[in-house]
Chains A and B, each alone.
Chain A
Amino acid sequence: MSDLLEPAETAQVKRQKVPFRGGGFKPRPIRFVAPLVFLALILFWELGSQTGVISNLVLPAPSEAYRAFVELFQSGLLWKHVSTSLYRLVFGWSIGTALGIMVGLLIGLFSLARASLLPLTSAFFPIPKIALLPLFIIWFGIGEGSKVATILFGTFFPTVIATYGGVDNVERGLIRMGQSFGMSWLSIVRKIILPGALPAILSGARISASIAIILLVAAEMIGAEYGIGAYVLMAGSLFATDQLIVGVAMLSVLGLCVSWLIGRAEKALLNWRG
Chain B
Amino acid sequence: MQISIENLSHAYGSVEVLSDINLTFEPGEIAVIIGPSGCGKSTLLRLMGGLEEPNQGASYLAGDVPDGCLNPLTYIFQDFALLPWRSVAGNISLVLEDHNLSKSQSEAIIADVLDRTNLSEFHDALPRQLSGGMKQRVAIARALAVRPAFLLMDEPLSALDSQTRELLMDDLVDLWARERFSACYVTHNLSEAVRLGHKVIVLSRRPGKVRGVVDIRMPLEERRERAAELEDVQQKLWQMMREEALAADRELANV
Query: B12: CB under 8 A from chain A?
Result: no
Query: B6: CB under 8 A from chain A?
Result: no
Task: Flag if A177 contacts B84 (CB, 8 Å).
Answer: no
Task: Flag if B94 contacts A191 (CB, 8 Å).
Answer: yes
Tally of A-B Cβ pairs under 8 angstroms: 51
CB-defined contacts of A174 to chain B, threshold 8 Å: 81, 83
Query: A32: CB under 8 A from chain B?
Result: no
Within 8 Å by CB of B84, from A176, A187, A191, A272, lies A272
CB-defined contacts of B70 to chain A, threshold 8 Å: 182
**Which residues of chain A from 153 to 188 have any CB-CB distance to chain B below 8 Å in the complex?**
173-174, 176-184, 187
Task: Flag if B75 contacts A180 (CB, 8 Å).
Answer: yes
Task: Say whether, besides A180-B51, A183-B98, A184-B98, A274 and B74 are in contact (CB < 8 Å).
Answer: no
**Which residues of chain B from 61 to 119 have any CB-CB distance to chain A below 8 Å in the complex?**
70-71, 73-75, 77, 79, 81, 83-86, 94-95, 97-98
Task: Flag if A173 contacts B81 (CB, 8 Å).
Answer: yes
Task: Say whether, besides A174-B83, A272-B128, A182 and B51 are in contact (CB < 8 Å).
Answer: no
Query: B146: CB under 8 A from chain A?
Result: yes
CA of A174 to CA of B85, assembled, Å: 12
Residue in chain B with minimal CB distance to A183? B98
Task: Flag if A177 contacts B126 (CB, 8 Å).
Answer: no
CB-defined contacts of A179 to chain B, threshold 8 Å: 51
CB-defined contacts of B146 to chain A, threshold 8 Å: 181
CB-defined contacts of A180 to chain B, threshold 8 Å: 49, 51, 71, 73-75
Task: Flag if A182 contacts B81 (CB, 8 Å).
Answer: no
CA of A177 to CA of B75, assembled, Å: 8
Main secondary structure of the interface of A (DSSP, over half): helix
Task: Flag if A177 contacts B85 (CB, 8 Å).
Answer: no
Task: Flag if A272 contacts B74 (CB, 8 Å).
Answer: no
CA of A10 to CA of B146, assembled, Å: 70
CB-defined contacts of A28 to chain B, threshold 8 Å: none
Task: Flag if B97 contacts A177 (CB, 8 Å).
Answer: no
Total interface residues on B, CB under 8 Å, equals 22
Task: Say whether, besides A177-B75, A180-B74, A192 and B83 are in contact (CB < 8 Å).
Answer: yes
Query: A195: CB under 8 A from chain B?
Result: yes
CA of A196 to CA of B82, assembled, Å: 12
CA of A237 to CA of B63, assembled, Å: 85
**Which residues of chain B from 31 to 50 have any CB-CB distance to chain A below 8 Å in the complex?**
49
Within 8 Å by CB of A181, from B74, B79, B84, B85, lies B74
Task: Flag if A195 contacts B83 (CB, 8 Å).
Answer: yes
Task: Flag if A182 contacts B71 (CB, 8 Å).
Answer: yes
CA of A195 to CA of B85, assembled, Å: 8
0/1 string, A196-216, CB within 8 A of B gives 1: 100000000000000000000
Total interface residues on A, CB under 8 Å, equals 20
Residue in chain B with minimal CB distance to A175? B81
Residue in chain A with minimal CB distance to B99? A182
CA of A66 to CA of B61, assembled, Å: 79
CB-defined contacts of A187 to chain B, threshold 8 Å: 97-98
CB-defined contacts of B94 to chain A, threshold 8 Å: 178, 181, 183, 191
CA of A124 to CA of B98, assembled, Å: 40
Residue in chain B with minimal CB distance to A179? B51
Query: A273: CB under 8 A from chain B?
Result: yes
Q: Which of B97, B98, B146 has the most CB of A within 10 A?
A: B98
**Which residues of chain A from 123 to 178 have any CB-CB distance to chain B below 8 Å in the complex?**
173-174, 176-178
CA of A94 to CA of B4, assembled, Å: 54
CB-defined contacts of B97 to chain A, threshold 8 Å: 187, 191
CA of A179 to CA of B51, assembled, Å: 8
CB-defined contacts of A184 to chain B, threshold 8 Å: 98
Chain B nearest CB, measured from A52 CB (Å): 58
Q: Which of B73, B84, B85, B126 has the most CB of A within 10 A?
A: B85
Residue in chain A with minimal CB distance to B145? A181
CB-defined contacts of A273 to chain B, threshold 8 Å: 84, 128
Within 8 Å by CB of A274, from B77, B81, B86, B126, lies B126
Nearest first, the 5 closest Cβ-Cβ pairs linking A and B are: A177-B81, A272-B85, A181-B95, A180-B75, A195-B85
Other A-B contacts than A173-B77, A181-B95, A272-B128, 19 sampled, CB-CB below 8 A, are A174-B83, A176-B51, A176-B77, A176-B81, A177-B75, A177-B77, A178-B94, A180-B73, A183-B94, A183-B95, A184-B98, A191-B83, A191-B94, A191-B97, A195-B83, A272-B85, A272-B126, A274-B126, A274-B129
Q: Using CB atoms and an 8 Å cutoff, list the residues of chain B in contact with chain A.
A: 49, 51, 70-71, 73-75, 77, 79, 81, 83-86, 94-95, 97-98, 126, 128-129, 146
24 chain-A/chain-B pairs, Cβ below 8 angstroms: A173-B81, A174-B83, A176-B77, A177-B75, A177-B77, A177-B81, A180-B51, A180-B74, A181-B94, A182-B70, A182-B71, A183-B94, A184-B98, A187-B97, A187-B98, A192-B83, A195-B83, A195-B85, A196-B85, A270-B85, A272-B85, A274-B126, A274-B128, A274-B129
